């Protein structure tokens, strides 16, 4: 009897901060970013097959490639001896939107392929930690953090990860329907040697504590992204104007922006108001996944032991 299908969630990656701290000779930029993951995302169905394939569905399925240009089809090549997998991707995140959709999908494909052999969280985590780091980075700077899909501080070109404790955080995601190429945003960056975040991150007690701390941090890609896509300014203004919004900022290289709220009900009310005023925008209320200190420390130790 063939193994049952595996369903894997691909959560949206949110850059709560994104400090660009340098540029290497090969053109790669150094980052210092606080990353968290939302309960909003794509969904991947995986069934073992003789030949790997990809079927697309969902509201944004027609907007991404179904061949090897899709990172899902490239991702399982990182697994030695992996058998073919037939994937069905329900694409619910807008592409090229600064929330790691392609990397999240690729990471979900790898987790799903590993679960085909041993559907045990600890075994999957151990195999993720043992993956070739250079090969993983070859598929994109966001892939290492998306593989874990847990709150983390991401540094270097994406290879330095430290999981962090994190509170429950309601938020609203909004995208104006504009794709912003990451390369163009980095090319428009006028200064690449900006200050990093503080060496020691605080222990945020709740969403209000986090929002107050974020007010002193930055997304260095927001100014160049605004020059490429002026619609970002309108999104940020709409978010900041909502009742209960604690902070509004762009995620990643844009154009998706977020605002933090005191509770999910406030985020949902704000989402309804923005959807009514801008029916063409993508609007998604949700929550960022929390993490406790013990889990973060345990996984950090596991990751370091395989380096």
CA atoms within 13 A on the CB side of 44: 28
Q: DSSP E strands: which ranges in the chain?
A: 6-15, 19-23, 29-48, 53-57, 85-90, 152-156, 160-163, 169-175, 247-250, 257-260, 282-288
Q: Which of 13, 32, 42, 220 is catalytic?
A: 13
Residue in the block written with tokens 């290492």: 144
- Please, what's the b/e burial string for 188-219 (b: 16 or more CB within 10 A of its CB; e: otherwise)? ebeeeeeeebeeeeeebeebeebbebbeebbb
Residue 142 known to be catalytic:
yes
Phi, psi of 235 (to 5 degrees): -65, -45
Largest CA distance in the chain: 58
Q: Which of 32, 42, 105, 142 is catalytic?
A: 142
Bridge partners (DSSP) listed for residue 132: none
Cα(283)–Cα(257) distance, rounded to whole angstroms?
A: 10
CA-based radius of gyration for the chain: 19
Q: List CB contacts of 253: < 8 A, sequence separation 6 or more.
A: 98, 180, 181, 182, 185, 186, 221, 225
Residue 276 known to be catalytic:
no
Q: List CB contacts of 187: < 8 A, sequence separation 6 or more.
A: none
- Please, what's the b/e burial string for 238-251 (b: 16 or more CB within 10 A of its CB; e: otherwise)? bbeebebbbbbbbb
User: How many angstroms separate the first and last alpha carbons of the chain?
Assistant: 38
Supply the residues annotated as catalytic. Answer: 13, 142
């Amino acid at each position: 009897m063939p193994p049952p299908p595996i369903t894997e969630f691909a959560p949206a990656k949110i850059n709560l901060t994104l400090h660009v701290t340098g540029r290497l000779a090969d053109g790669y930029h150094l980052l210092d970013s606080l990353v968290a993951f939302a309960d909003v995302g794509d969904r991947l169905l995986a069934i073992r097959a003789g030949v790997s394939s990809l079927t697309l569905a969902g509201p944004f399925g027609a907007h991404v490639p179904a061949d090897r240009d899709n990172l899902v089809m490239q991702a399982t090549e990182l697994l030695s001896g992996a058998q073919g997998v037939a994937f069905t991707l329900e694409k619910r995140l807008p592409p090229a939107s600064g929330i790691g959709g392609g990397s999240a999908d690729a990471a979900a494909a790898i987790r799903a392929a590993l679960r085909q052999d041993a559907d045990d969280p600890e075994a999957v985590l151990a195999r993720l930690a043992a993956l070739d780091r250079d090969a993983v980075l070859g598929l994109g700077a966001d892939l290492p953090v998306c593989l874990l899909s847990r709150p983390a501080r991401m540094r270097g070109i994406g290879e330095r990860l430290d999981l962090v404790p994190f509170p429950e955080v309601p938020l609203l995601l909004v995208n104006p329907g504009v794709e912003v190429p990451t390369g163009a945003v980095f090319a428009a960056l006028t200064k690449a040697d900006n200050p990093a975040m503080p060496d020691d991150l605080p222990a945020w007690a709740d969403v209000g504590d986090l929002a107050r701390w974020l007010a002193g941090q930055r997304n260095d890609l927001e100014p160049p992204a605004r020059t490429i896509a002026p619609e970002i300014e309108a999104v940020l203004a709409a978010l900041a104007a909502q009742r209960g919004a604690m902070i509004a900022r762009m995620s990643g290289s844009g154009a998706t922006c977020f605002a933090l709220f005191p509770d999910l009900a406030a985020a949902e009310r704000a989402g309804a108001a923005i959807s009514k005023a801008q029916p063409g925008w993508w609007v998604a209320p949700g929550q960022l996944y929390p993490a406790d200190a013990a889990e973060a420390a345990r996984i950090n130790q596991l990751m370091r032991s395989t380096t």
